[in-house]
Amino acid sequence: MHKVFATAPGKVNLALRVGPPRTDSFHPLDTVFEAVDVYESVSATFDRSEISVTMSGKGQDLPTDEQNLAVKAAMALRASFGGSDGVHLEIDKRIPVAGGMAGGSADAAATLVACNELWELEASADELLEIAASIGSDVPFALMGGLAHGVGRGERLVPINADVHHYWVMITAADGLSTPAVFGEFDQIMGYRPVPEALVPDTRDLQRALAAGNASEIASLLINDLEEPAFSLRPGLRALYKAVKSRGMAAILSGSGPTVAVLAESKGAADQLAKELATEHPDAGIFRANGPVAGARVTEVI
């Protein structure tokens, strides 16, 4: 086997509840993830020993050394199986960088499934999930995809079975937001200091509404505790968010932002809204997305 192609999706957190920081400085979460059909594509070409990456699309300014999450993923997978094979990764980035849609995590997840195939490691789904969690909190979900309930720092997942289809309009900004900075601002606003154990508000109502396929209830239960800190760091984002909400639409900040996700009632309504928003906000990046979709997977082997 010489070359493997893989993809992994971006995500929106339909609900993101955050508690005070733990003593390891991570925040305990109770979250509902939805994978959306904005994909990162990775091609993995066999190399005798080196692990390297080149980025195209939205990723041209990102580091290509071991700070790159895809390189980290390949190194972690190789280390856990004790092999010496290498890989050259080519990543075509479609998910906005530092946009709150977990694009870097998707790169890592696609790399894990691609290298697992390329190096013929036969790692199990659980083994890949464990390695994924060592790379970043959002990486396990990029592997799993679909809809899932996440706890811990977001890495402990239980799939949610629900027959729902969501039509999103995503509004992105050219300047990303740093995830640690948004969590830091959250602590500042809440007056939180690290604690050994803390309670996090739960997301049971939303999980029930998803299982029942109750569209209007789902829309009314979208919630993100990182909205206030993200708006505090980026006041223009609050204005944009309010403008969208004033149209009577269900909207939510995606993860740590600055992408805003608007939930439309139908495909037609979403397509129409995307057109209108593109005219009203010419400086923002507007695109359509649909969810839930499957997680990281190998698409071709040569």
Ligand X SMILES: Nc1ncnc2c1ncn2[C@@H]1O[C@H](COP(=O)(O)OP(=O)(O)OP(=O)(O)O)[C@@H](O)[C@H]1O
Is 9 part of any known ligand binding site?
A: no
Give φ, ψ of 152 to 5 degrees. Answer: 70, -135
Task: Judge whether 263 and 251 are in contact, CB under 8 Å.
Answer: yes
68: its two tokens: 């790159």
If the CB atoms of residues 49 and 67 are measured against ligand X, the closer one turns out to be 67
Q: How many whole angstroms separate alpha carbon 165 and alpha carbon 5?
A: 27
Which of ligand CDM, ligand X, none is residue 146 near (CB under 5 to 8 Å by kind)?
Answer: none
- Half-sphere exposure of residue 92, counting CA atoms within 13 Å on the CB side? 7
258 is in an annotated binding site: no
Of 29 and 240, which CB lies nearer to ligand CDM in the complex structure?
29
Residues 6+ apart with CB under 8 A from 111: 6, 42, 44, 70, 73, 74, 77, 89
If the CB atoms of residues 188 and 266 are measured against ligand CDM, the closer one turns out to be: 188
Peptide bond into 258 cis (omega under 30): yes
Contact between residue 139 and residue 132 where contact means Cβ atoms under 8 Å apart: yes
Nearest distance from residue 39's CB to ligand X, in Å? 13
- Contact partner at residue 153 from ligand X, ligand CDM, none, CB < 5 to 8 Å by partner kind: ligand CDM
Tell me if residue 85 is catalytic.
Answer: no
Q: Is 101 annotated as a binding residue?
A: yes
Q: Which does 5 bind (CB under 5 to 8 A by kind): ligand CDM, ligand X, none?
A: none
Min CB(216)–ligand X separation in Å: 27
Q: How far apart are CA 294 and CA 113, in angstroms?
A: 13
Active-site hit among 30, 85, 107, 138: 138
Q: How far is the CB of 300 from ligand CDM (least distance, A)?
A: 27
Q: Which is nearer to ligand X, 92 or 205 (CB)?
A: 92
User: Which partner, ligand CDM, ligand X, none, binds residue 62 by CB below 5 to 8 Å per kind?
Assistant: ligand X
What lies within 8 Å, CB to CB, of 158 at 6+ separation is 148, 149
User: CB under 5 to 8 A by kind: which of ligand X, ligand CDM, none does 29 bind?
Assistant: ligand CDM
203 binding partner (options ligand X, ligand CDM, none; Cβ < 5 to 8 Å by kind): none
Q: Which of 3, 11, 85, 107 is catalytic?
A: 11
Q: Is 236 annotated to bind ligand?
A: no
Let me know if 11 is a catalytic residue: yes
Which residues contact ligand CDM (rule: CB under 6 A)? Answer: 13, 16, 26-27, 29, 31, 102, 105, 136-138, 153-154, 179-180, 183, 255-256
Q: Categorise residue 57: left if φ over 0, alpha if ψ from -120 to 50, beta otherwise.
A: left
Please answer whether residues 120 and 1 qualify as being in contact, where contact means their C-beta atoms are separated by less than 8 angstroms.
yes
First to last CA, the chain: 6
Name which of 19 and 140 has its Cβ closer to ligand X. Answer: 140
The beta-strand segments (E) located in the chain are 3-18, 29-47, 51-57, 86-93, 147-151, 156-159, 166-172, 223-224, 250-253, 260-264, 285-291, 297-301
Amino acid at 133: A
Binding positions for ligand X, rule: CB under 6 A: 59, 62, 67-70, 97-105, 107, 138, 179, 255-256
77 closest CA partner among 128, 153, 28, 30: 128
In the bound complex, what is the minimum distance in angstroms from residue 97's beta carbon to ligand CDM?
12
Task: Give the residue at shortest CB distance from ligand X.
Answer: 104
98 has binding-site annotation: yes
Residue 255 is labelled as binding a ligand: no
57 among annotated binding-site residues: no
Binding-site members for ATP are: 96-106
Binding-site members are: 96-106
Catalytic amino acids? 11, 138
